[in-house]
């Protein structure tokens, strides 16, 4: 990172600034960067975020981060992804920020939020070994190789709960637990630190996102086999005001369904579900266990089938072979040898559909299924997956080869930017509405 011109601000002198900036550039799209950007927008500044990766929030997978990116754009923030800072230059009392794509931004204020790295210089001089990620090596008592020296927090490498690989986790929760464990051992009480599962959350304007355990990218890098599901349940009963849908992604082992990771993005009830997934993952629960969790229900707080239960239903159905799925990343390469069938209404199809798809609304499937080929796979989809599931069941019973798009158009649009997104406030986004629509269609079809 090139040096900034002028004198860096500190907490002590920032409040004494006499000028009033109007344009800020935030370098870094992690937790701190997006939170700072939000607060600058609230102060009336124009804000650009520059992130060298292809997404913000690198701890979650890109299709989940994209929902948050849509929301930032809706709030007036300009995102520069896959872009690094090439240099800074003082120009007429302002800072010109040169980007790697040739863009030049002129700002009154530049904030570097590019993360932290352990400063191990003193430790190395003391003969303490550093691990592969750049943090101090410790045992599970928080001791270094010198039994009289303990280390905790952002300075140390710990083992990831799922991948069992060393990680640097700049998180307050683990750091506090490590401090308690170190103190126990210093005082003669044997206490151990198990692992870090990386549970984290962020609020960006009205939207919340976060997760626990391993991301799909982490599982791939660690060569850990997995299965996954997406769903879009509401935060609480939709007939009670104040809710919105979430985008949930759950990763689990393909043999026994043990949880490997979960990510949640949305507007209502996100924190509670991340908490529950974190507890379930730490406890070694499976998607089959999630089916049977008894969670509190009242309309202001949840649904009779809580999103956690729904995630269990979907994951268990997949592993039992009751419901076969296809995914957004399968398109177009792995769908070319089949037929893509959109079972939404003609109006929804006309507004936008996956290129190459035909339209066969759910209420017509029983009458028109003979139009479909039996010698080729059918890739069905709807908006969130529910109508697709009903069409799947009808067609499987008729002898067709069928797969249903996990997460429907909404997940597809987070994976492939299409104009649909969970961040669009003007687009109705309640899974319960789809449930009602499907029930009405099936009732009319049966009649």
Domain limits for position 163:
121-186
Nearest to 348 by CA among 416, 402, 413, 259: 413
Given the residues 99, 325, 382, 391, the one annotated as active site: 382
- Whether 97 is in a domain gets the answer yes
CATH of the domain at 365: 3.40.250.10
Instruction: Annotate 253-273 with three-state secondary structure.
Output: CCCCCEEEEEEEEECCCHHHH
- Whether 191 is in a domain gets the answer no
DSSP 150: B
CATH of the domain at 169: 3.50.50.60
In whole angstroms, give the CA distance from residue 100 to residue 84. 5
- Choosing from 52, 78, 112, the residue where a domain stops is 112
Nearest to 413 by CA among 17, 39, 59, 70: 70
Cα maximum dimension of the chain: 81
Assess whether 330 and 316 both reside in one domain: no
Assess whether 305 and 212 both reside in one domain: yes
In whole angstroms, give the CA distance from residue 431 to residue 361. 18
**Count of domains for the chain:** 4
- Whether 92 is in a domain gets the answer yes
- Whether 77 is in a domain gets the answer yes
Cα 249 to Cα 214, 328, 407: the distances in Å are 11, 13, 9
- Catalytic-residue membership of 187: no
Assess whether 313 and 367 both reside in one domain: no
- Choosing from 320, 341, 362, the residue where a domain stops is 320
- Choosing from 277, 293, 320, the residue where a domain stops is 320
Structural tokens at position 332:
């177009």
Helix (H, G, I), strand (E, B) or coil at 357: coil
For residue 166, what are the β-bridge partners?
Answer: 159
Q: Along the 447 residues of the chain, how does pLDDT read in single tens digits? A: 566 665 566 666 666 655 689 999 999 999 999 999 999 999 999 999 999 999 999 999 999 999 999 999 999 999 999 999 999 999 998 999 999 999 999 999 999 999 889 999 999 999 999 999 999 999 999 999 999 999 999 999 999 999 999 999 999 999 999 999 999 999 999 999 999 999 999 999 999 999 999 999 999 999 999 999 999 999 999 899 999 999 999 999 999 999 999 999 999 999 999 999 999 999 999 999 999 999 999 999 999 999 999 999 999 999 999 999 999 999 999 999 999 999 999 999 998 899 999 999 999 999 999 999 999 999 999 999 999 999 999 999 999 999 999 999 999 999 987 644 433 444 333 344 454 555 565 566 665
- Whether 196 is in a domain gets the answer no
- Whether 237 is in a domain gets the answer yes
């Amino acid at each position: 990172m090139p040096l900034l011109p002028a004198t860096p601000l500190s907490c002590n002198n920032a409040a004494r600034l006499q000028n009033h900036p109007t344009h800020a550039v935030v370098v870094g799209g992690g937790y701190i960067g997006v939170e700072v950007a939000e607060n600058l927008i609230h102060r009336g500044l124009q804000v650009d975020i520059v992130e060298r990766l292809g997404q913000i929030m690198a701890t979650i997978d890109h299709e989940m981060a994209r929902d948050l990116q849509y929301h930032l754009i809706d709030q007036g923030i300009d995102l520069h992804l896959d872009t690094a800072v090439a240099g800074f230059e003082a120009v007429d009392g302002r800072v010109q920020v040169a980007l790697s794509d040739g863009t030049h931004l002129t700002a009154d204020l530049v904030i570097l939020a590019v993360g932290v790295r352990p400063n191990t210089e003193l430790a190395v001089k003391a003969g303490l070994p550093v691990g592969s990620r750049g943090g101090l090596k410790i045992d599970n008592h928080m001791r270094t190789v010198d039994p009289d020296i303990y280390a905790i927090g952002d300075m140390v490498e710990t083992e990831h709960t799922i991948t069992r690989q060393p990680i640097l986790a700049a998180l307050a929760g683990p750091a506090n637990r490590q401090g308690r464990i170190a103190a126990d051992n210093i005082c003669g009480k044997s206490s151990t630190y198990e692992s870090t599962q990386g549970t984290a959350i962020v609020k960006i304007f009205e939207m919340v996102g976060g997760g626990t355990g391993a991301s799909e990218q982490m599982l791939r890098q660690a060569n850990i086999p997995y299965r996954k599901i997406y769903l879009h349940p509401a935060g609480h009963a939709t007939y009670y005001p104040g809710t919105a849908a979430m985008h949930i992604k759950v990763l689990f082992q393909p043999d026994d369904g043990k949880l490997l990771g979960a990510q949640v993005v949305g507007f209502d009830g996100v924190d509670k579900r991340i908490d529950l997934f974190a507890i379930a993952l730490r406890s070694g629960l499976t998607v089959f266990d999630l089916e049977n969790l008894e969670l509190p229900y009242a309309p202001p707080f949840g649904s009779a089938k809580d999103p956690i239960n729904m995630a269990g239903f979907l994951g268990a159905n997949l592993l039992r072979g009751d419901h076969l799925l296809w995914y957004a990343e399968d398109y177009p390469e792995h769908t070319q040898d089949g037929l893509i069938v959109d079972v939404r209404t003609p109006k929804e199809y006309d507004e936008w559909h996956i290129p190459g798809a035909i339209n066969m609304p759910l209420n017509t499937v029983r009458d028109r299924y003979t139009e479909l080929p039996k010698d080729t796979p059918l890739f069905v989809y709807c908006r969130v997956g529910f109508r697709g599931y009903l069409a799947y069941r009808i067609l499987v019973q008729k002898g067709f080869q069928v797969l249903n798009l996990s997460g429907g158009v909404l997940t597809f649009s987070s994976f492939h930017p299409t104009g649909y997104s969970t961040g669009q406030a003007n687009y109705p986004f309640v899974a319960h509405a789809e449930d009602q629509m499907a029930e009405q269609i099936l009732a009319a079809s049966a009649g």
